[in-house]
Amino acid sequence: MTLTPASGTYLVWFTGSVSNSAASANVYTSIWAAGSQVAASEVSSTQPSGGSQNRHYPFACCCQATVNGSQAIEGRWRIDSITGSMYQRTLEILKIG
Give 30-41 pLDDT, tens digit per residue: 999 999 999 999
What local confidence, expressed as pLDDT, does residue 54 receive? 57
What local confidence, expressed as pLDDT, does residue 51 receive? 57
The overall pTM is greater than 0.75:
yes
What local confidence, expressed as pLDDT, does residue 52 receive? 59
Mean pLDDT calculated for residue range 69-74: 98
What local confidence, expressed as pLDDT, does residue 70 receive? 98
Total domains present in the chain = 1
- pLDDT range class, residue 14, cuts 50, 70, 90: very high
Structural domain that includes position 55: 2-95
Of 52, 63, 50, nearest to 15 by C-alpha is: 63
User: Which residues fall within 8 angstroms of residue 2, CB to CB, at 6 or more apart?
Assistant: 72, 73, 74, 75, 91
